[in-house]
């Protein structure tokens, strides 16, 4: 059964998967495909639809895979006249293709479903993240105890990478109940390409955790990836205020902000 572009797009959103939609936006003279022709390209190499076949399509496919990787759209312009000068065809026309990466909402994982963890879940969901909750206490890690999350993993932290695909857009928020839990479960998370790893607690608590990690042989270069104490200094006290502090730092790092007051800035 042939799947249409639109069916494939709907399935993509349903499964929270990545792809790139390539659309012919301009076509002058003799070209392989008309304006509006589409091709949906997946990370594993397969695709639905076509923008013309041949060398043109191969070049668009390469750009599509790069767009999926870097998350940046691109406009492509090709002359179709003289392969000897690098053109992807001899039709004689010109074609433009817009490549639009389609990426699912980034995943934010909250490890530790206490008061602060629940507040982070609520705020992160409101900010547009897909949210997963993990806690080795099953009675805390369920929709009744911690509502609003998209998934629940009642496992220890060191088991988490076996259940969740952690990629370079994943945010890991550790709001656990103690340094011993962090020291026991952090190591596998430090081996991941996560965009952000933050651990709640005081400087003293983090120093104790670092000492325990080093005693286990964890490399210093991995440990320094962690933000702890995590969050921006807002004099936060309540779980909700602490959640704002944490998510403000996540946003600052993601968007390469400074965290400085807007008053007096040039923007």
Mean pLDDT of 117-132: 96
Which tokens sit at 175?
């709001």
Q: Give the per-residue SS3 of 68-96.
A: HHHCCCEEEEEECCCHHHCCCCCCCCEEE
pLDDT in tens, 126-144: 999 999 999 999 999 999 9
145 Cβ contact list (under 8 Å, min separation 6): 113, 139
How high does pLDDT run on average in the chain? 89
Domains and CATH numbers, the chain: 7-102 (no CATH), 107-254 (3.40.50.720)
**pLDDT of the residue at 86:** 44
Mean pLDDT of 84-98: 64
Mean pLDDT of 216-226: 94
Mean pLDDT of 14-42: 85
64, pLDDT greater than 60: yes
233, pLDDT greater than 70: yes
**pTM score, whole prediction:** 0.84
**pLDDT of the residue at 43:** 93
pLDDT in tens, 48-59: 988 877 778 888
87, pLDDT greater than 50: no
Mean pLDDT of 183-199: 95
264, pLDDT greater than 80: no
Q: What percent of the chain has pLDDT over 70?
A: 91
Which tokens sit at 257?
């902000």
More confident residue, 182 or 3: 182
**Quick one: pLDDT band at residue 1, thresholds 50, 70, 90?**
low
């Amino acid at each position: 059964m042939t799947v249409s572009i639109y069916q494939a797009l709907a399935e993509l959103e349903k499964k929270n998967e990545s792809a790139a939609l390539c659309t012919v936006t301009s076509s002058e003279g003799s070209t392989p495909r008309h304006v509006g022709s589409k091709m949906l390209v997946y990370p594993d190499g397969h695709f639905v639809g076509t923008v013309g076949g041949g060398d043109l399509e191969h070049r668009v496919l390469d750009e599509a895979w790069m767009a999926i990787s870097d998350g940046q759209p691109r406009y492509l312009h090709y002359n179709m006249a003289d392969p000897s000068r690098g053109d992807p065809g001899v039709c004689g026309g010109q074609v433009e293709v817009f490549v639009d990466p389609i990426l699912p909402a980034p995943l934010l994982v909250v490890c530790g479903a206490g008061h602060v963890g629940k507040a982070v879940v609520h705020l992160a969901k409101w900010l547009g993240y897909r949210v997963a909750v993990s806690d080795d206490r099953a009675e805390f890690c369920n929709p009744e105890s911690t509502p609003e999350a998209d998934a629940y993993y009642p496992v220890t932290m060191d088991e988490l990478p076996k259940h969740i695909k952690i990629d370079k857009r994943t945010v890991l928020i550790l709001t656990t109940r103690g340094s011993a839990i962090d020291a026991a479960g952090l190591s596998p998370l430090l081996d991941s390409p996560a965009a952000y790893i933050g651990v709640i607690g005081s400087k003293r608590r983090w120093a104790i955790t670092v000492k325990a990690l080093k005693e286990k042989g964890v490399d210093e270069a991995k440990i320094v990836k962690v933000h702890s104490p995590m969050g921006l200094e807002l004099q936060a006290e309540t779980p909700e205020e602490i959640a704002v502090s944490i998510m403000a730092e996540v946003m600052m790092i993601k968007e390469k902000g400074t965290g400085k007051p807007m008053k007096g800035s040039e923007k």
